[in-house]
Structure formats: C-alpha cells, structure tokens
Structure 1
Amino acid sequence: MLEIRQVTRRFGQNTAVRDVELEIEQGQMVGVIGRSGAGKSTLLRMINRLIDPSEGSITFHGKEVSALRGAELRRWQRDCAMIFQQFNLVPRLDVLTNVLLGRLNHRSTVLNLMNMFTREERIRAIAALERLDIAQTALQRAGTLSGGQQQRVAIARALMQEPKVILADEPIASLDPLNAKVVMDSLADINAREGITVITNLHTLDTARAYCNRIVGMAKGAVVFDGPPEALTSEAVRTIYGGEEGAELSEAITSTSINVPAPQPARKSTGQAQPALAAV
C-alpha cells in the first residue's frame, strides 16, 4: 500500500500540490490526468523523492519514504523506478549499457566505478530488451534511436531495477500515436504480468480510459476526481479540464487515437478553400 497523506508542495508563493490524500494498493494501474500545471509531475517526483513535500507524508508498506535519507533513500529510489517524458538516457552510451545502469543501486560502489557488469546482469538486460522488441538495438548508441525506441529502453532500464512501483511521468507526451500505443501496451503488460504498481501521468482521456483501472484527476494542485474509468462523467471531465457549466467539452481535444477518419466522397469544387483535416 502506497499512502499519501495531506501532501502539499510549495515553490515560493506558488502551491503546486495541495493537500493530496491517496491510497494506492499494490498492483493497480493508475492514470493521473489533468491540464498542464495541475501538479501531476510534482506529485510523482515527491513519491520518488526527487523533491520533498513541504507538508504531509508518503509511506509505502508502513515505512515513511518521505523521511528517508542516505542508503535507505537510494533503496527506495531503486524500488520506485521513474520513467521520464524525455527518456533520461545517456545518448553517447550504447543501449545495453543504458539498460544495465538500472542495476546501479543493487551493486557496490567499487563495481559501479569500474563499470563492471556480470554475465547474469547482461543476460537479464538483453531479456528486457527482447521483451520490449528492441534487442536488435543493443549495441547502438542510445542517441541514434527514435523517441519511441528510447522510451522502451527507459522502460527496460526500469525493469532492471526490479521495482515494486513504476512511476511514468508523461511517458507518451512526445511520441506519435503508434509509438504511444507500444509504450502504453508495455506498461500495461508489466503491470499485469508482474503485478507491479504503475502510476502514470497522462494528458489524454482516451489513453487513461483504455489502460488504467483507476483514474485520479487533478486541477490546480488538488485531487478533484478519484475512481474507475466508467465513473469519469462529462461533469467530472469538466471539473478536471475546465469549461463552463453546462457547456459541451469534447474529449477529442485530448485524444491520441490512431484511427484515421474514413475518406469522404469527392465533392465538386466551389472555388472556396476547404478546411484541412485535423491532425490525428
């Protein structure tokens, strides 16, 4: 059980996260949705302890991770893997080495300084890449890969940590729809097969509905919705994303659908410009 109790984070006079209360059971796949600036990334960074809460506490299986320091904090950051929107790989290193870096918090400082990995670790890294269908890139420099491939490398690196929780901070925000699907399928597969808790920040309602069994909606730093996808009504969507009461809010504005609209019958020219098709 991951418990977040009255967590607030301030940056000067700005309150990025406000009095958040959540209990997340082991094995859930949770989508955190909301507009940019709603506090989603700040919340995940506090869970991972990249930043500290200004108030409140975060506990995991009864241990207060928001109070950890030194070696205990490093162990928590090993158990709570973080996947970033911008991948955070080392571009000049090959893919295999990037994945092996996920083992650093499992090893001694001496071995890390010598950059020595065991045969078993290398086999495990190749297996992670094979699982994500990118083993053929193992010896390429990470910087030569496409964005979708780099995100899969980042997921493989997270698997090497043997985490209990995976936090994914906007993992598909910079990807095209097809690569976004591959990445979300991979996270869902890890959640289902290993029972690893996955908490992912998403801008898009369709993705959250399709992949997550629980959705947390944030607005202005506060949790304004917490429930299953089927409870995410139009009124709840309006509360999360804004909009006037009673006004229609099309979910298409947050869509990552890869469905291409059916071609329309040809029409005779009227001499007027026709509107361009919306980008998919």
Structure 2
Amino acid sequence: MFRLINVTHRFGGHAAVNAVSIDIPQGQMVGIIGRSGAGKSTLLRMINRLVDPSEGSIRFGDIEVSSLRGAALRNWQRDCAMIFQQFNLVPRLDVLTNVLLGRLNHRSTALSLLNMFSREERIMAIAALERLGIEQTALQMAGTLSGGQQQRVAIARALMQQPKMILADEPIASLDPLNAKVVMDALRDINEREGITVVTNLHTLDTARNYCERIIGMSAGRVVFDGPPRELDAAAVRAIYGAGADGSEIDETVTSTSIRGAVSAQLQDNNRESVSAAPLVLAGV
C-alpha cells in the first residue's frame, strides 16, 4: 500500500498541494486530472521526492518515504520511476544507451562512469525496446526520433529500473492523438502484465476514463474527487474544472484529445489518400 497522509507543499505562502490524503493499493492504474495549476505535477514530484513535502507523511509499506536521505532516497527513486512530459532523454546519445541509463541506480558509480553495461543489461534494454515496438531505433540518436518514439524510449528506460511504481507527469500532453494512444496503451500494458502501480497526470477526461480504473480530481491543491470513472459525473467535473464563464457546465471537449475519434479520422484520411500509405504512417508513430 502506498499512502499520502495530509501531505502539503508550499511555495512561499501558497499551498500548491494542500492536506492531501490518498491510499493507493499495489497494482492500480490511477489518473490524476485537473486544471493547470491544480497541484498535479507537484503531487507527483513529492511522491518521487524531487520536491519535499512541507507537511505530512508519504509511506510505501513500512518505508517512510518523506524522511529518506542519501542512498535510501536514491533507492526509492529507482523503485518509483518517473516519466516526464519533456521525455528527459540525452539527445546526442543513441536510443540504446538512453534506455541503459535506467540501470544507473542498480550499479556502482565506477561502472556508471565507465559506461560498462553488461551483456544481460543490453539484452534487457533491447527487450524493452521490442516490447514498445521501437527496437529498430536502438542505434539512432535519441534527438532524431519523433515525440511519440521519444516517449516510448523514456518508458523503456523506466522499465530498466525494474520499478514498483511508475509516475507519469503529463506523458501525452505534447503528443498527437495517435501517438498519445500508443503511449497510453503501453502504460496500461505494463500495469496489467507486471502489476506495477501506475499514477499518471492527465489533462484529458476521455483518456482518464478510457485507461484508468481510478480517477483523482484536484482543484486548488486539494482532492475534490476520488473514485472510478463511472462516478465522474457532471457534478464531479464541475468540482474539478469549475463552470464556464456564463455559469454553464464545462464542455468536456475542451479537456479532450478525442483519441479514438482522431485515430479513426486519421486512418480514414490515410485510406482515402492511398491504401498503401497507411502502413507507412503507422510505422512512423
């Protein structure tokens, strides 16, 4: 069980996250939604200890995560892998080396400095790339890949950490709908096959509904909704996103990437242009 107990983080006098308490059983796929500035990214960064809580406690089983320091903190950041919106790859290194960097917290500093990865680690890295359908890019410079490919490399790097939890901070915010679907499919597959807990921040209600078994809605640093997708009704959406300028209900299309509809439309356009062109478009995802 992973637990946040009355966790708060302040920037000066402003509480970006305010007295949040959440229990997450092992193996759940959780989507956190809310407006920009609701506290979603700060919450994930506290879980990974990229920022420290101002108050409250973060626990994973018997481990008091919020008090870890030194090697124990590095071990937690190995076990709690982080995937970022900006990918955080090294553009001038090849894809395979970027993926292998996920092993750094499993190795001695000397071996890391010498870039001496074992044959077994290289096999693991290729297997991770194959699982994500991008093994053919292994020797390309990471900076030459598309955004969707780079995000899949970042997921492969996270898998190399052999984590107990994966945190994904807006992993599809900069991707087109087709690439967004590929990335979300990959995260759901990891969650279902490995039983790894996945907690992901999302701007899009349709994505949260389609992929997450549990949705947490945040507004002004507080949790205002916590439940399964079927309970995310109009009242819950209003609590999370507020009302329109005229007081009307929020139009969900403004929070939606329309993954399914956009994929269908894109494939139809490809088919109209050329039957043979569609496989080329999909292969470049």
TM score, norm. by length of structure 2: 0.90
Aligned length: 263
Structure 2: distance between partners of 1:104 and 1:97: 11
Aligned-partner Cα distance in 1 for 2:8–2:156: 32
- Is the aligned partner of 1:236 residue 2:197? no
Alignment of 1:121-132 (within 5 A): 121-132=121-132
Distance 2:163 2:54 in 1: 26
1:30 matches 2:43: no
Q: Which residue of 1 aligns with 2:219?
A: 219
Which residue number corresponds to residue 67 of structure 1?
A: 67
The residue aligned with 1:277 is none
Aligned to 1:247: 248
> What TM-score, normalized to structure 1?
0.92
1:52 aligns with 2:70: no
Q: Provide, for residues 76-128 of structure 1, a one-character-per-residue CA deviation record: whole Å limited to 9, x for no partner.
A: 00000000000000000000000000000000111011110000000000000
Give the Cα–Cα distance (whole angstroms) in 2 for the partners of residues 208 and 164 of structure 1: 21
Percentage of identical aligned residues: 76
Measured in 2, the distance between the counterparts of 1:112 and 1:255 equals: 42
Partner of 1:32: helix, strand, or coil? strand
Q: Mapping of 1:72-221 within 5 angstroms?
A: 72-221=72-221
Deviations 1:147-168 (A, max 9, x none): 0000000000000000000000
Supply the distance in 2 between the matched residues of 1:214 and 1:185 (Cα, whole angstroms): 16
CA distance in structure 1 between the partners assigned to 2:148 and 2:241 by the alignment: 27
SS of the residue 1:99 aligns to? helix
In the TM superposition, residue 194 of structure 1 has moved relative to its aligned partner by 0.1
The answer for the alignment partner of 2:12 in structure 1 is: 12
**Local SS of the residue matching 1:88:** coil
Shift of 1:246: 6.9
Structure with the bigger percentage of helix? 2
Give the distance between the partners of 1:249 and 1:20, measured in 2 at CA: 25
Please state whether the residue corresponding to 1:20 is helix, strand or coil. Answer: strand
Amino acid at match of 1:96: L
Partner in structure 2 of residue 257 of structure 1: 258
Question: Cα deviations across residues 6-41 of structure 1 (Å, max 9, x unaligned)?
Answer: 000001121100000000000000000000000000
Match of 1:274 in 2: none
Mean Cα deviation higher: 249-258 or 213-222: 249-258
Q: Distance in 1 between matches of 2:210 and 2:185?
A: 10
1:251 maps to amino acid: E
Larger Rg: 1
User: What is the identity, as a one-letter code, of the residue corresponding to 2:253?
Assistant: A
Deviation at 1:257? 1.2
Give me the whole-angstrom Cα distance separating, in 1, the residues matched to 2:140 and 2:105.
24
Alpha-carbon distance between aligned partners in 2 of 1:165 and 1:189, rounded to the nearest angstrom: 14
Deviates more, 1:166-175 or 1:107-116: 107-116
Moved over 6 A (4+): none
Which consecutive unaligned segments of at least 5 residues does structure 1 have? Answer: 264-280
The RMSD of aligned alpha carbons is: 1.4
